[in-house]
Structure 1
Amino acid sequence: MQIFFDNNSGKHTAVFYSFILACALLLYLLAPVKASAHPHVFVDCSLTFEFNDKGLAGVRQKWWFDEMFATMILGDFDKNHDNKLTPDEASALEQGAFVNLKNFNYFTRILVDGKEQSPIEAVEFKPTVEDGTLVYDFFVPLNITDSDKHVVMVAIFDESFYTSVQMDPQNKLLGANGQFQTNLILKPVAEMAYFFDQIVPEAAVLTFQTK
């Protein structure tokens, strides 16, 4: 089948398709783009806010790694391949696959009453193998001991997009024991937006005060 049109009609058609192409290109350039990088490591993360008699001691993090990354790391550090980590193996893993995260604040961002907490310190690191996968457990001290009302926001994310972190919607409290009035939720926090403010991470938001 042939389609015939006069010269003016052809010009109008060409202009129309040029306009559509230009619009499509403009939408592509203006659309939010996360990054050219894709995640290579996937982590499920759970937080436990730990209290003592004086106040909020800090937040404990527990990371569960994806099977592929766990297999790679355990292949390097679980020397006898028994899916258990001896003290020597755990120490070697800490030095080889955890300490360097200090340079990235352990992918952890914390705001206390809107004030950035940096650098982030990580202590009590303990790697284990649970259900065949690698698990990191460590503690980030905060030591908030006054009786004022505080809002603590904790988000775990990798701005390079190399590591994808999924936050647990049901994070925990430990040791409050009725001494503190608390509220803990998971929600997007605009104050932590990154990548040209296009990405707003979810954060565990704890509001607490001595009763």
Structure 2
Amino acid sequence: MLKRLGYWVAAMVTAFATPALSHPHIFAEARLEIVAADDGTLKELRNVWRFDDIFSSSVLMDFDKNSDLKLDHSELTEIANTIRDSLGDYSYFTFITKDGATSEIAKPEVFNVDFKDNQLLVFFVAKPKTPVTIGGRMHFGVYDPTLYTAIDFAKDEDMLVEGKAFSACTHKVVRPDPDEVIAQNQLNLTEAFFSDPTGNDMGKLFATRMEVSC
């Protein structure tokens, strides 16, 4: 039986199939720590996601095998493995670009979940598959390319850089205006929504991101 959590990720592929599905169905508040290593390369991106009550409740119902309305260690481990495996095709919702080139994300070694105050929490460390030197113009973002899941950073302080390699750089959190994005990309959005629902990455246009210039 396909778990709802696995179905959630699989459903993103067809999220734009109809107008009714062209908006977020799952919501999460996030924190991102972008950490530089002492040698001047990018060390890791530390992600924390807190999911909305409705989605969290659906996960509890699907994975609470003993029906005690709690998630024990083995159930949490199954959830963590399901999410990690499912998000592999979506770069784990974690994106790094340097001077316009995108870095591929390695499968996270550290991936944990918890369930507190009726909300699902996800913690994981993402790293680029190949070394990335801090420098030039860099963008860091966490978003669902299909827009099926809305990942929100409530405060600019929830997205930060750490490490001396960033000391010679300027950085800022950029929050695109959705109305401006739609107005500037109306034709492309229409084609993406209705002509090729699985072949686009429009989520990046709306995503909050950290811009670093060195």
TM range (shorter): 0.5 to 0.7
Task: Assess if the C-alpha contact under 8 Å between 1:129 and 1:135 holds in 2.
Answer: yes
What is the letter of the counterpart of residue 59 of structure 2?
I
**Shift in Å at residue 208 of structure 1?**
6.3
Residue by residue over 1:45-104, the C-alpha shift from the partner in whole angstroms, topping out at 9 and shown as x without a partner, is 211012231232021111110001111112222445464541x22221123333111112
- Determine the C-alpha separation between the residues in 1 that align with 2:72 and 2:127: 25
Q: Is 1:66 aligned to 2:66, yes or no?
A: no
Q: Is 1:39 aligned to 2:31, yes or no?
A: no
- Determine the C-alpha separation between the residues in 1 that align with 2:120 and 2:19: 27
What is the letter of the counterpart of residue 33 of structure 2?
T
What is the letter of the counterpart of residue 172 of structure 2?
I
Greater CA radius of gyration, 1 or 2? Answer: 1
Task: Assess if the C-alpha contact under 8 Å between 2:170 and 2:213 holds in 1.
Answer: yes
In terms of fraction of residues, the more strand-rich structure is 1
- Determine the C-alpha separation between the residues in 2 that align with 1:195 and 1:64: 34
Out of 137, 141, 153, which is 1:155 matched to?
Answer: 141
Aligned to 1:54: 39
Aligned to 2:97: 111
Give the alignment of 1:93-104 within 5 angstroms. 93-104=79-90
Q: What 5-or-longer segments of structure 1 have no aligned partner?
A: 1-33
- Determine the C-alpha separation between the residues in 2 that align with 1:166 and 1:195: 26
- Determine the C-alpha separation between the residues in 2 that align with 1:58 and 1:194: 35
Task: Assess if the C-alpha contact under 8 Å between 2:36 and 2:43 holds in 1.
Answer: yes
Task: Assess if the C-alpha contact under 8 Å between 2:35 and 2:161 holds in 1.
Answer: yes
Task: Assess if the C-alpha contact under 8 Å between 1:54 and 1:145 holds in 2.
Answer: no
Q: What 5-or-longer segments of structure 2 have no aligned partner?
A: 1-17, 191-201
Number of residue pairs aligned between Structure 1 and Structure 2:
171
- Determine the C-alpha separation between the residues in 2 that align with 1:179 and 1:161: 30
Between 1:64-73 and 1:38-47, the stretch displaced more is 38-47
* TM-score normalised by structure 2 residue count: 0.65
**Shift in Å at residue 182 of structure 1?**
3.9
Task: Assess if the C-alpha contact under 8 Å between 1:184 and 1:204 holds in 2.
Answer: no
Q: CA RMSD in A?
A: 3.2
Could you list the runs of 4 or more consecutive aligned residues of structure 1 that deviate by over 3 angstroms after TM superposition?
Answer: 78-85, 142-146, 177-180
Q: Is 1:172 aligned to 2:160, yes or no?
A: yes
Give identity over the alignment, percent.
20
**Shift in Å at residue 110 of structure 1?**
2.1
What is the letter of the counterpart of residue 37 of structure 2?
N
**Shift in Å at residue 41 of structure 1?**
0.8
- Determine the C-alpha separation between the residues in 1 that align with 2:145 and 2:131: 27
Task: Assess if the C-alpha contact under 8 Å between 1:85 and 1:127 holds in 2.
Answer: no
- Determine the C-alpha separation between the residues in 2 that align with 1:196 and 1:91: 40
Out of 187, 190, 193, which is 2:174 matched to?
Answer: 187
